[in-house]
């Protein structure tokens, strides 16, 4: 778990509309300072079958104090049966960007 620093939370959505809606919702709720989304191709095994799908990856930029609430909100509103939900510790972040994140989220 991220402790007292910037964190990235990543998840995928089945469409650009869902990704855009989720990203705006999370930022409006003050759970992330920024959300970036883009189209990706995912290959994975699901229920015994290899899937090759187009999805939209959303990267939420947030603070350690917001991580659990953000993840809970994603899980509560996500349409996938088992949503991808990855947390990445950020070891280094630009001072100005971190200051902006703190001002935005606190």
Residue-wise pLDDT tens digits, 28-78: 999 999 999 999 999 999 999 999 999 999 999 999 999 999 999 999 999
The pTM of the whole model exceeds 0.85: yes
pLDDT band at residue 106 using 50, 70 and 90 as cut-offs: confident
CATH top class, domain 6-105 = alpha beta
Other CB atoms closer than 10 Å to residue 43's CB: what's the count?
8
Return contacts of 20-28, CB within 8 angstroms, 24+ apart.
22/58, 22/74, 22/77, 22/78, 23/58, 23/60, 25/73, 25/77, 26/60, 26/70, 26/73, 26/74
Which sequence spans correspond to the domains of the chain? 6-105
């Amino acid at each position: 778990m991220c402790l007292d620093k910037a964190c990235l939370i990543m998840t995928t959505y089945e469409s650009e509309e869902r990704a855009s809606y989720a990203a705006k919702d999370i930022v409006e709720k003050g759970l992330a300072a920024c959300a970036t989304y883009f189209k990706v191709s995912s290959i994975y095994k699901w229920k015994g079958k290899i899937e090759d799908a187009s999805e939209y990856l959303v990267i939420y930029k947030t603070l350690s104090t917001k991580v659990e609430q953000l993840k809970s909100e994603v899980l509560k509103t996500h349409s996938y049966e088992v949503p991808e939900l990855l947390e990445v510790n950020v070891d280094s972040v630009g001072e100005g960007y971190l200051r902006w994140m703190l001002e935005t989220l606190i």
